[in-house]
Structure 1
């Protein structure tokens, strides 16, 4: 039995981010579905894994983690000798990777996640889209992608010419948004569009999407 367990939903962007890291590292893991509709994430035993009652939660032996980006960093560091090299060893280059990880979390994710919620996830639950929120966050994301376009004109990937954890963190929101009207924001930035096509085609990501298709 795999020592790694990931608790959550296969449709959660945060959970998908962790899956991607595990598949890049070619690691065996057990997925434990959390009944979100039944509120299992707000009750024990889940709260013993994440006291904030949010997915995902992860176990690796006696180690318990929450927050998806902390999980991906742990996976990349602890299993550095497995699968894809998601980290850059050179200190200066790793610093650049860290910058783009922070950019994803603090600049890209807020508008992208709001658009994912409004344009993709709400539709999955038959909820009405907030057009004003969509317009506001499309404007915000477009400005972020202007910066990405400039960066990706100089580098194949965000941190370097190699795929790293900085790129991986973007995958879930990009996947969802490519199936919505927000795709136009990516298409209007040629280097960003090429980057999206590249990272979405990774075998690890195909395995993440296959998990959803099994549901």
Structure 2
């Protein structure tokens, strides 16, 4: 039995970041599905792992890490995994200041607009709710500014954090995957460097394993 358990959902973007990191690091783990459609994440025994009722909850021996907003905390878990298993799999951290800056760009600039666009165009319809066109328009305007910065950055380096794939790029994957299946994809396709970067990182074997989890 794997020493690590991840209690989460294959459809949760926060869970996907943790799954992707473990796959990139070639670390065995046990996936414990939490069915959010039934409200399982708001009940015991899951609440004993995460009192905030958010996924994922990460167990490693006596250590339990969880998220309360499904944003910064999931990234803290991926950083823990990357540091703890530094000698295994892909090297996802460089220790360079440049990488640390782009980690902050992702969570403070890309995440807000992209997550709202995913919510409006992917998750609302999934839950039988109606997409708000005004919210989509407003957040596409915000995302446009971020993608312009990315296009310039990617004309100078292969990846956002430098010349190697790191947590910076990995943290983008769940929201990018959502946007690829929406009309917002036009913003991604219209920028050659961004488009090539997305094709590169979404084509990684570790990410294919994350997507495969949704089929079981």
| Alignment partners' CA distance in 2, 1:115 and 1:83 | 32
Map of 2:38 onto structure 1:
38
Q: Which runs of 5+ in 1 are unaligned?
A: none
Question: Counterpart in 1 of 2:143?
Answer: 141
TM-score calculated relative to the size of structure 1: 0.94
Find 1:127's aligned residue among 101, 126, 129: 129
| Post-superposition offset of 1:125 | 2.4
Give how far 1:181 is off: 0.3
Distance (Å, rounded) in 1 between the aligned partners of 2:114 and 2:164: 24
Could you tell me which residue of structure 2 aligns to residue 179 of structure 1? Answer: 181
Cα deviations by residue, 1:11-44 (Å, 9 ceiling, x for unpaired)? 0111111110000001111111112223222233
**Aligned counterpart, 2:70:** none
Query: Which segment drifts farther, 27-36 or 133-142?
Result: 27-36
Alignment correspondent of 1:197: 199
Structure 1 stretch 51-60 or stretch 162-171: which is displaced more?
51-60
* Secondary structure in 1 matching 2:37: coil
Gaps of 5+ in 2: 67-72
Quote the Cα distance in structure 2 between the aligned partners of 1:98 and 1:49: 29
How many pairs does the alignment contain?
210
Runs of 4+ in 1 over 6 A off after TM superposition: none
Q: Distance in 2 between matches of 1:50 and 1:202?
A: 30
Distance in 2, Cα, partners of 1:63 & 1:96:
30
